[in-house]
Every structure is written in structure tokens, then in C-alpha cells.
């Protein structure tokens, strides 16, 4: 009876030891699998690295080709032609300072005494009055125009904002308005002073208009922004 109990204990101990060893072996196998990376991942990374190197080499060839073209253009007559065209475009766009002869036109409100019942709006300058002067100068061949040191370009506007006018979208100007125009002084002055012309029509209401021929006019460059919301470069 004692021998039988002894054998049962040995069998039980053997089963427990076997269970413990099986569990330990399984845990060791899982750890080994987790710690040893798959061989497919390094191979995939190596292939991606090779592709990246090939792409880099192709881009470097393009860079070398473009740099060669740039060096060739910089050393040849093409650059001088492009620079000449750029300078001409900047000049026509009003982005450079200009000098020459022309006229100086000074505009100011009327100093006449307002009579009872008269409309005071007839005796002060409006945006339409300034535009009439500017349009007459353009029609007479003015090459460049400024008003109170603000260069006017093709996109400049003149709008009435209370007692002031707004030009170039953000410049508020108040009388007196001093307008400079580059061009033939005789032609420009005669265009303004012609009988029944814009100066005569303004002087009827006492608007002060003074036109002078000047030998030296310094026209400042345009200083505003050049942002186009809808216009796109022509291809």
C-alpha cells in the first residue's frame, strides 16, 4: 500500500514537472520569435533604398543639365536680351523712376464765397474732376503721370472717399492735388488749356487750376501692390 502511494506521488510530480517544462518551452519559443526579426523586412528596406538612390541619381542629372543651360545662358547674349526686355517691361509698367520734361498741374477747391441757395458741391473738387485732367493728359501723349507723389499705372483708380480721393487702393489724398505728367510740355499744356476744355470748365465754378511747363520732372516708381485676382499670364 505504501509502495503504491509512493508511485502515485512520483507520477504526480512527473506530471507537474512536465507541465512546467512545456509552459516554459512555449514562452521561450514566443520570445525568440518576437525578438528575431523577419528576413523579409530588411530585404524590402534594401530595395526601397536602391530605388531612392536611383531616383536621386536621375534628379542630380537633371540638376546638372539645368545648371549647364543656366551657365551657358549667363555667358551668352541671351541674358542681355532677356534683361533688356525685363527693363523695358518694368519701365512700361511704371516700376522704375523716370525723368524728363513735362507739366505740373495744381488743383484746389474754389475759394469763392458761397451764395445763399448755391450747391456747395459745385465748388469743391471731386474724383470726376481729377479724372478729367488725367484723361486729358493721357490723350495728349503723357508717358507717365503721378498725383501727390503717387505714380499712376494702368490699374490705378481714382475714387471719391468723403473729402479725399483714393488712388492705388490704399492712398488717401486731399487737396491741393499736384499732378506731374511726362511728355511734350507744349502739347500737354495746350491740351488742358484749349477753349472749352477741362480747365475752362472747372474754372467756371472757381476751381483753382494752375498749369506750368517744367523742364525737369522726377517721376517716382509705383509703390503699391501688384496682385491680380482673375488675370492670368498669356501662354
Number of domains in the chain: 1
Dihedral angle over CA of 121, 122, 123, 127, nearest 10: 70
> Any idea which residue has 483753382 for its cell?
208
Find the domain containing 158 and state its range. 100-215
Residue 151 gets which letter from DSSP?
E
Tell which residue, 218, 219, 211, has the closest CA to residue 136. Answer: 211
d(C-alpha 223, C-alpha 95), whole Å: 8
pLDDT in tens, 145-159: 999 999 999 888 899
The pLDDT assigned to 183 comes to 96
Q: What is the distance of C-alpha 9 from the center of its chain?
A: 92
Q: Which residues of the chain register pLDDT less than 50? A: 2
The pLDDT assigned to 2 comes to 46
E-strand ranges in 110-149 read 144-147
The pLDDT assigned to 193 comes to 93
Tell which residue, 168, 179, 108, 181, has the closest CA to residue 141. Answer: 181
The enclosing domain of 124 has a CATH number of 3.30.70.1880
The pLDDT assigned to 34 comes to 55
pTM listed for this prediction:
0.64
The pLDDT assigned to 74 comes to 67
> Any idea which residue has 551668352 for its cell?
76
Structural domain contains residue 108: yes
DSSP 20-52: HHHHHHHHHHHHHHHHS--THHHHHHHHHHHHH
Amino acid at each position: 500500500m505504501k509502495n503504491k502511494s509512493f508511485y502515485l506521488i512520483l507520477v504526480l510530480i512527473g506530471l507537474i514537472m512536465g507541465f512546467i517544462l512545456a509552459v516554459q518551452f512555449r514562452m521561450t519559443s514566443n520570445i525568440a520569435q518576437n525578438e528575431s526579426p523577419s528576413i523579409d523586412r530588411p530585404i524590402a528596406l534594401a530595395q526601397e533604398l536602391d530605388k531612392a538612390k536611383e531616383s536621386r541619381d536621375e534628379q542630380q542629372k537633371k540638376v546638372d543639365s539645368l545648371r549647364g543651360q543656366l551657365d551657358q545662358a549667363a555667358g551668352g547674349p541671351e541674358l542681355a536680351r532677356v534683361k533688356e526686355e525685363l527693363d523695358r517691361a518694368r519701365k512700361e509698367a511704371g516700376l522704375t523712376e523716370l525723368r524728363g520734361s513735362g507739366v505740373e498741374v495744381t488743383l484746389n477747391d474754389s475759394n469763392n464765397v458761397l451764395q445763399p441757395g448755391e450747391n456747395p458741391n459745385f465748388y469743391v473738387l471731386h474724383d470726376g474732376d481729377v479724372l478729367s485732367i488725367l484723361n486729358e493728359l493721357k490723350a495728349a501723349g503723357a508717358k507717365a503721370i503721378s498725383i501727390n507723389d503717387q505714380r499712376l499705372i494702368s490699374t490705378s483708380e481714382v475714387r471719391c472717399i468723403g473729402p479725399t480721393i483714393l488712388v492705388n487702393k490704399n492712398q488717401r489724398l486731399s487737396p491741393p492735388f499736384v499732378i506731374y505728367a511726362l511728355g511734350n510740355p507744349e502739347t500737354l499744356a495746350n491740351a488742358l488749356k484749349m477753349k472749352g476744355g477741362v480747365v475752362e470748365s472747372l474754372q467756371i465754378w472757381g476751381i483753382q487750376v494752375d498749369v506750368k511747363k517744367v523742364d525737369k520732372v522726377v517721376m517716382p516708381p509705383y509703390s503699391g501692390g501688384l496682385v491680380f485676382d482673375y488675370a492670368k499670364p498669356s501662354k
